[in-house]
Amino acid sequence: MSLRTGRPGQAHAVLGVLGGAALVFFALPLVALIGRVTPAELWAQLGAPAVQRALWLSLEVSLISLGLCVVFGFPLAFVLARVAFPGRALARGLVSLPMVLPPVVGGIALLAAFGRRGLLGGMLERIGVVLPFTTAGAVLAVTFVAMPFLVTTLEGALATVDPRLEQAAATLGASRWRVLWTVTLPAIRPSMAAGLALCWARGLGEFGATITFAGNFEGRTQTMPLAVYDALQADPEAAITLGLVLLAVSLTLLMALRGHIGRRR
């Protein structure tokens, strides 16, 4: 799009410079990281059993969490977007809360709710469910902080779907489920891809709530971000390498996700 008013060359130059500066801002730390690690070191770390445990745990926790976010988050987004119930504004605020809370505070809140001495803790323990210090607890922590990203993205997208499309499908005889599956969901596919990517990436990088609620234990709750933090305290060079590993894995999966779903088939 060309800017027609005034001097287009000048506007483009300003945008270019500012945008370029932003790009450099993002690229520089990454480049600095890459510069500190040799491929041999990277490969060696990838092979270390502790690192592999952390990687698999991160993938396991973040993907299970993503599944939970979809199963519970999509219906929630749908209700928030389509159903005008009393207190909807409050509900929206609640859903957005984990996004603005410092993650550690989120972890503390989860302890207050699901910890052994928490609101539901006693009940849960009676039926044999203990969440803090377990992988399930890590999944809960990650879901808590990541789901709002999916819900708000989806809610926004659902609100912009042309209602006539769904009405047309209905008049053609499509049941509510068919309308959802064949008209509504395809209409929000790009937003869905963005929401899923954002949600999953946030979950993969989650640290504060996880370490507070689930604790830090290799193989059980020590996801990659926690492993990097651990390494940072004893061996900063290893931490850099681990950070790069996490980065590389995330980037690959993110690009695959957005490319696969976001593209119109």
CB hemisphere CA count around 154 (13 angstroms): 28
Rank residues 96 and 216 by Cβ distance to other proteins and give the closer one: 216
CB of residue 126 to other proteins, shortest distance in Å: 15
Q: For residues 135-154, which are near other proteins according to CB under 8 A?
A: none
Residue 117 in 3-state DSSP?
coil
Element (H, E) at 258: helix 236-262
Member of 12, 36, 88, 178 binding other proteins (CB under 8 A): 178
Q: CA 185, CA 169: separation in Å to the nearest integer?
A: 13
CB of residue 214 to other proteins, shortest distance in Å: 8
103 binds other proteins (CB under 8 A): no
Name the one range near other proteins by CB under 8 A: 22-30, 65-73, 113-121, 252-260.
113-121
Tokens of 248: 């590389």
In terms of C-beta density within 10 A (0-12 exposed, 13-18 middle, 19 or more buried), how is residue 234 classed? exposed
Member of 141, 147, 196, 211 binding other proteins (CB under 8 A): 211
Neighbouring CB atoms inside 10 A of 211's CB total 22
Name the one range near other proteins by CB under 8 A: 20-28, 44-52, 58-66, 168-176.
168-176
Name the one range near other proteins by CB under 8 A: 26-34, 36-44, 50-58, 177-185.
177-185
CB of residue 93 to other proteins, shortest distance in Å: 26
In terms of C-beta density within 10 A (0-12 exposed, 13-18 middle, 19 or more buried), how is residue 170 classed? middle
Member of 107, 132, 148, 205 binding other proteins (CB under 8 A): 132
Q: Give the rounded distance of the alpha carbon of 98 from its chain centre.
A: 12
Q: CA 195, CA 189: separation in Å to the nearest integer?
A: 10
189 binds other proteins (CB under 8 A): yes
Ranges assigned E (strand) in 17-138: none
Q: What are the phi and psi torsion angles at 199 (to 5°)? A: -60, -50
Rank residues 67 and 236 by Cβ distance to other proteins and give the closer one: 236
Member of 20, 186, 219, 259 binding other proteins (CB under 8 A): 186
167 binds other proteins (CB under 8 A): yes
Binding-site size, other proteins (CB under 8 A): 37
221 binds other proteins (CB under 8 A): yes
Alpha helices, DSSP H, located in 37-134: 39-47, 49-82, 88-100, 103-114, 121-126
- Residues in touch with other proteins (CB under 8 A): 111, 115-117, 132-133, 162, 164-165, 167-175, 178, 182-183, 186-187, 189, 211, 215-217, 220-221, 229-230, 232-234, 236, 264
